[in-house]
Amino acid sequence: MQKIALLTLGRLPKALDVAVALHGAGWRVIIAEPSQWHLARVSRSVSKCFAVTSPNDDQEAYVQDLLNVIRSENVSLVVPISEEALHATLIEDKLPDGVALFSMPHESLRLMHDKSRFIKLAESYDLVVPQTHLLGTKEAEELAQSEDYVIKPVCTCSGQGLQICKQGDTLPTASELSASVVQSFLGGALKSSFSIAHKGRVIGSVVYRAAILSGTVAVAFEKLNEEADIENWISSFVKHSNYSGFISFDFIEDPSGQPRAIECNPRATSGIHFVEPKSIANAILDPERCSDLDLKPHTIMQQFYPSLTETQVAAFRRDQFLKKIRILATAKEVNFAWRDPLPLWLMPFTSWNIMKRAFLKGESFGEASTYDIAWFE
């Protein structure tokens, strides 16, 4: 009998990567998603889709909707994909016998998603991070007076609420913002990572940087090699936390060139696009025997439509436009395969709600695609 995997999101390209991987391994893939239409819905790798309540509208109803799908479809495996993971993992204690959840427990995800608690956790592992303090504390005031700094909410995604400030700028009061951190502004190169881990062991990692940004979210990505400091940092964190599942980090180099982790994303990020589908499937389905991730040969990959939009915006800035048009013309599209062309070809229709929100509200694609699923304490 064919086994059934449930993905808890379908609108983002990384969901398509997981669906293709599991379908290729012989599984029937179904998706639970608040949007009726979404990217993965038209993929040949997806058997069926279910519309569920948005977790930011009614979290309890969302959890119950997931459980109803799991029971009615005889699901064997649940794979959270992105920002919805913090909501989706609330099902863990309610799962029927024999159903596996490819994730750390909910409380572990909350700990690592929180930008203040994550920094303290990394410091307890003797890992390098920037100086970070909660807004409203004496330590935050002293940091703001001594160097350039950033302010960001403790629970957010897609760069929402980020403020870059100069040394001596007046800090807002804690009552003026949602719970936020004050963090040293490092100013070096920003690099990101994606890893799959199992019981404290890194199966494999990808380190990459943004080639084209939409707001603060990368829509084109360049794979980086020989990033031993970052890979060692990841291995140490995963070992100390006994982590299992998808995990990602953002790093910024300090003035000495040392990469420091500024935040953790305990979920899949765009680095997954560089991983071969068979490796993704092996790491999810048989992590005990999986010891590496095979990577695709491509150095630069892109999400075509948001990359096109950002290239058009740069049309009157010659240096940026020429760089972006080269990427647009040469980068591998993450969503396209000749055996499964509809996700790319129909993306203007399946992602219309995201694009409409981005244009009407002036949000980045990252903000518009996560407003109803992201975890805000």
- pLDDT for the residue numbered 140: 95
- CB within 8 A of 227, min separation 6: which ones? 191, 207, 259
pLDDT, tens only, 152-177:
999 887 777 789 999 999 998 877 77
Tokens 């589908």 map to which residue? 277
Query: Smallest Cα–Cα separation from 370: which of 90, 5, 9?
Result: 9
CA angle 204, 288, 283 (to 5 degrees): 45
- pLDDT for the residue numbered 161: 79
Whole-model pTM? 0.95
What DSSP line would sit under 258-293, residue for residue?
Answer: -EEEEEEE-S--GGGGGB-HHHHHHHHH-GGG----
Q: Return the exposure string of 234-263: e unless at least 16 CB atoms fall within 10 Å of the residue's CB, then b.
A: bbebbeebebbbbbbbbbbbeeeeebbbbb
Judge whether 259 and 248 are in contact, CB under 8 Å: no
The two beta strands, 300-302 and 217-224, are antiparallel
Tokens 């999986």 map to which residue? 290
- CB within 8 A of 111, min separation 6: which ones? 117, 118, 121
Query: Smallest Cα–Cα separation from 300: which of 339, 277, 334, 325?
Result: 334
Judge whether 201 and 190 are in contact, CB under 8 Å: no
Measured CA to CA, the distance from residue 86 to residue 315 in angstroms comes to 39
Measured CA to CA, the distance from residue 214 to residue 30 in angstroms comes to 29
Integer Rg of the chain from CA: 20
Q: Which stretches of the chain drop beneath a pLDDT of 50?
A: none
- pLDDT for the residue numbered 178: 80
Judge whether 143 and 184 are in contact, CB under 8 Å: yes
Measured CA to CA, the distance from residue 359 to residue 351 in angstroms comes to 13
- pLDDT for the residue numbered 152: 93
CA angle 194, 185, 215 (to 5 degrees): 55
Tokens of 363: 């949000």
